[in-house]
Structure 1
Amino acid sequence: MNGVFRDLLDKCVIIYLDDILIYCKTREQHLKDLEAVFQRLQQHRLITKGSKCEFLKQELEFLGHVISTEGIRIDSKKLRAIQEWKPPTNLPQLQSFLGFVNYVRRFIPNMAGLTGPLTDLLQKGTCYEWGEKQQAAFEALKKLLMSPPVLRIADPEWPFEVITDASDIAIGAVLMQDFGNGLQPIAYESRKMQSAERNYPVHDKEMLAIVHAFKIWRCYLTGADVTVRTDHKSLQYLRAQPNLNPRQIRWLDYLESNFTYKITYKKGANNIADALSRLSAQLAAVLVAQSNPLLIHDSNLSGHFGVDKTLKALQRFYYWPDMVADVQRYVAACPICQRMKSSHQRPTGLLQPLEPPQRPWQHVTMDFVTGLPAGPSGNDAVLVVVDRLTKMAHFAPCRTTITAEETARLFISTIVRLHGIPAAIISDRDPKFTSKFWQDTWARYGTRLQFSSAYHPQTDGQTERTNQTMEQLIRTNCPDRNKWEDVLPMLEFSYNNAPSATTNHSPFYLNYGMDPTVPISTNVEN
């Protein structure tokens, strides 16, 4: 299926096995996309079953989630079994429960804190003893799993905000965007600190939370404008500190070489991420009742209604923090209301060979090599563009923080100026290459954009191999790593003058019909 809809993937179509999700922003465009999908199905003699199809929906279930104009939430039908989940009596049962919990962790703002007493039992050499702490955490998680929040779908055209916090034993972060109506959550993240990390000073713990968030959400934050909000004021001035320890230098180097960001101070009392890292206070407030009669949702007089009616019935008599979340989780896990069915697999599909080009520079592949030492010009990355037919490559120095607009200008000055406009560009799913600006730019020229398979960048093997060769050339021909940019033009020439194992000719010869003049050929002629 991935091969059938290759050019539509992540533009208007998402494929999972034999499930097809078609999406867009307007009804008119949706009808056009439907027509394109139906034509593709007809061409390949694929049949759909009408009873399993839904059209023109603003909300639908897909892979255990409900996708709507509001965002993404967990499908309540998929959480039915959680309510009847018995306390684990051995390690395999605990691992099974935590595996289920981990599936929805991006929806839960304080997952690391709540699972702390449970994950402690997984440590090597620990005797499995189920006590009051574990029971309290288990019950709290069961309630929490009933009402995960609605997460907005990230839009790379809008700036991101990362709100972080750290406690003595855990770190947490929230990824958010403001779409014009206030900040909305995109994802939550939290984890327990390792034993060595718990010995860090406070400012290093807070910095650890920032670095961890950027690593987890790198696919969103690379190439985007990011504002980091922390309740540790001194981190605002970290870049200006003259004396940094080796750990701080490594962290700062990672952030500076991969992201465009600024750190601002947000008072702790108003920091939404505080909840992500607070373990003790949350568990101390858990009350394990001696009896728990089912009065509202499950009683004979309550009717097993949904979240809204159950919540309103409760609010007539009771109140507690996170009531909405608790009700949503409980209803979602009710064994009478729903049936459990979760998916943990990544989308996969058969790999299909790319269409062979008919002339040089008709089809090109492109990628970035990052993490190079910044030279005097500030460049710390290379844009690598390879002709799929002749294997000729161009290496263009740039910065890791290059935008989609700057990438387009660099591509035109480096490739289009010499070889014309390509018919197809193959790349990975970098936010710069999936942005609206990049797609609109090449749509005007009639260039087709193709993307390597999700979760498997090796499918664009030609560029990946060229990247490795270029990095090897820099290591072997540039003793001073900081001056790699000075020798890059000659390294490009060396690469293009070397015979390819695929064609048995050099890329230079296949492009120009002759070999270039080099010192050895001059000596032979003389």
Structure 2
Amino acid sequence: MFEGVSRLPRQMPVHIPPYSEMVVWTTIIDSPPGTPCTVVIEPLPNSDNEWCVGRTLATLSGGRVPVDYVTQILTQWRSPAPALARVTEVAVEDIQGANELILSQVEPDVVEVAVRRVGVCEPSDTNSHSAFQLQGEGLTEEQQQKMTRLLHKWSCVFSQHEEDFGRTNVVRHQIPTGTAPPSRERYRPVPPSLYSELQTLLRNMLENGVVRESSSPWAAPIVLVKKKDGSWRFCVDYRKLNALTHKDAYPLPRIEESLTGLKAAKYYSTLDLASGYWQVEMDPEDREKTAFTTPFGLYEFERMPFGLCNAPATFQRLMQRCLGSMVNDSLLIYLDDIVVFSADFDSHIEHLEEVFRRLSEHGLKLQPKKCSLFQRQVTYLGHVISEDGVATDPAKTAAVRDWPRPQTVRQVKSFLGFAGYYRRFIQGFSKIARPLHALTHNIGHEKLYTDASLEGLGAVLAQEQEGLQNRNADALSRLAGPLPTETAEVDRVVVATGETWEEDQAKDADLFQLRQWKEMHTTQPEVCSNMSQNMKKLLREWDKICLQDGVLGRWEEGTMGTSVFQVLVPSDRRMDIWNAYHRDMGHPSSERTLSTVRQRCYWPGMTQDIKKWTEECPHCVCNKVGPVGRAPLQTINTSYPFEVVGMDYLSLGRPEDRDQSAETTARAVYDNLIVTFGCPERILTDRGGAFESTLMHQLCKMYGCTKIEPLHTILRLSERSETELGVGATQWTWAIQ
């Protein structure tokens, strides 16, 4: 290959006016002799800024070549003239038929030029149709030969490997955002164990020209989603960008209308594009808006990515321009899914060849593994299409049959949307689905009523409707399980309420995010500065937190070396838990309330919350007087149980009979103490008339028991128990609270 420098011929002065362009014939020093050759003319690296040389393709003949000059001032050249341009010989390829010139800016000063043939494929020597699903039954040997020739002829339309997908600029995807400022988000934490997988995905997209490095002011976070086969799918969260994008109203086909217009046919072929979205170029002005941020830098898409709100409309527009004139006559299109149908074999060959030709002209490629050719029956968009007509796909109807019972309004809507896809095959579908549609309406506020006893527990979810009040929406009734006797009734009320723990945790933002992390990751996520304090404290307990029966909780060491499962309580349910274990259990101290709650529940800052709420409890403030400074009291020493028994009268609620006579008191002591447990050595009471009576003294003397009365009521053993119960003169409703 020849390379040289062009100069002016000798004895040839040149005058070029300012701000003008002129083609000047120049000579090439040491030019190769022989036939003319094609050369590329380019400016020299150190050329004068006052004039420049246009990059051109010319023919070098007889040592002379024309050069295009542009000047900004009056330019005069005389011999010996300086070197004006660089001349390089290039190879020439003769291309027959239609072609397309592709220009790519690979560097700021370098443009890559390529020529691609359009509409014509070179026959392939390989068995290119081995990856297809072919229907061999019913085809003659001649028909099989025609089919093979067709696939060999148009083998270039099919992807040869995973990275081999087409490229078209017939339609370029645009992202109109108007004057909206760029949206920018930090990348989301990626587990270090997935770094190598993420780097592999990025490297493949860079090598295939799908993405490139970016310096865009836009940035969206990435998300890695696990596929069914265990590999990872690369996704970008474009929700903020989509919110700023002006929506494209280009319509997608109605599937039911397309299937209705399907003509009776004998041969069907389904075609699927290879990475269809990635075959569409992004508009150069909007590429920066697709930028996404990763732990390894900022990148942007050169091809149309998934997740953009207008991507389906752009792709449908492309397919309509490519195959629109054939729609309903010989094929159906829904995004990248194509079904070709024909009445006979020869027509099917013609239809497929026309489809392949148009796809080749538009630079699109098919995925052979997803193509099914020359079939008598195919599955298309959840329907089975055959000569007999259109039927439902058994695999899809099985999914409807095995659908789990919906538990939330969202799950009901999801089921109705899925089942409604086949409503044209179900007579009276709207009448059958009417009760389910009624569940999706917002018919009023909900109230949860709970109750429990030593025999069982129950809960009722009621709704307020227009003209109705407390209409039952759901109910729960169960036998009581084995719970501690001292807290059995309160615990069962909490259990009845706790049937909704899973739903309540899903409504809490921190617990919902924590559940997703527990389901997706095995390692602890990194703590970020934008996390709430509640979330940061929960992440410190990562190793203890787990999912049990769908409920998020924490395993903690309990008493006697056992472990207890503590339910993570949402923020809006914490006060309910405190009420259940403090107000409804006789207002114990903050320490005892905390000890009881710890056996069942947990939330960050629980100790401080329970202490604060207990100290501010109106019942405790009114009826629990704090200790008053007095001289220290002497301890009542005992050596065995029931050596000293303290007693007093205590009224819970409004008693029907206030009988506190000496006879009643003596009978109660005899029946409930002496007969049942035996006579104590000493009985400690106050100076009430019933206890100071002659009958009471005779009873004690008869059984050898000493009766003593302290000088101060604080020494009575029953005084402490009365304080624990929190019973005062104004608390007559304590028993029913």
TM-score by length of 1: 0.23
Specify which structure has the higher proportion of strand: 2
Specify which structure has the higher proportion of helix: 1
Say which one has the larger Rg. Answer: 2
Q: Which has the higher contact order (CA 8 A, sep 6+)?
A: 1
